């Protein structure tokens, strides 16, 4: 009877340990843990949508929505946190690319950056150039 009690405690400890690992990390997104079924989108989603398609949207490349999301996230990361001249690569299902932002400069009270996005789609390379300025809420608005 005593061995049955020890066995039950051991099983409970193993199951508890396995269940404790049932979260996923959001990656570079502040490193916070989330449940597997969390409906909450990444915090950077609103910042990426504020890019209004970024320069990748103006490059004329035919990207899947998944590849377009990866490309826009790379643009956001380059604008927000990369050192001037640092390459931010991304790879999707059918395309890949890299974004390089120049050093920030001031326009009025806003920080702005020029950047370029080199895309490879179907073996064909395209480079788009543009600039964006950071708003007070942390979003980036492309300059037209």
- Say what the pTM is: 0.66
pLDDT computed for residue 113 by the predictor: 96
Write out pLDDT tens, residues 72-125: 999 999 999 999 999 999 999 989 999 999 999 999 989 999 999 999 998 999
DSSP annotation of 56: G
Per the model's pLDDT, the better-predicted residue between 48 and 23 turns out to be 48
Burial of 74 (0-12, 13-18, 19+ CB in 10 A): buried
Name the nearest CA neighbour of 102 among 82, 118, 74. 82
Strand extents, DSSP E, 46-94: 87-91
- Give the dihedral sign, CA 87/53/112/29: negative
pLDDT of 1 > 60? The answer is no
Write out pLDDT tens, residues 32-76: 333 333 344 444 566 666 666 777 777 777 888 889 889 999 999
3-state DSSP assignment of residue 110 = strand
Four-point Cα dihedral 65, 69, 74, 75, nearest 10 = 90
Four-point Cα dihedral 50, 55, 59, 62, nearest 10 = -40
Backbone φ and ψ for 17, nearest 5 degrees, come out as: -65, -40
Task: List residues bridging with 74 in a β-sheet.
Answer: none
pLDDT computed for residue 32 by the predictor: 36
pLDDT of 12 > 50? The answer is no
pLDDT band at 7 (very low <50, low <70, confident <90, very high): low
């Amino acid at each position: 009877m005593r061995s049955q009690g020890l066995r039950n405690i051991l099983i409970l400890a193993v199951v508890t340990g396995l269940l404790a690992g049932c979260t996923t990390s959001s990656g570079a997104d502040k490193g916070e843990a989330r449940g597997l079924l969390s409906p909450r989108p990444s915090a950077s989603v609103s910042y990426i949508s504020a890019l209004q398609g970024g320069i990748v949207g103006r490059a004329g490349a035919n990207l899947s929505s998944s590849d377009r999301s990866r490309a826009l996230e790379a643009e956001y990361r380059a604008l927000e946190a990369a050192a001037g001249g640092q390459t931010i690569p991304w790879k999707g299902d059918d395309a890949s690319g890299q974004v390089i932002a120049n050093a920030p400069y001031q326009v009025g009270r806003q920080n702005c950056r020029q950047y370029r996005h080199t895309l490879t789609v179907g073996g064909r390379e395209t480079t788009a150039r543009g600039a964006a300025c950071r708003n007070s809420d942390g979003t980036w608005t492309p300059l037209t």
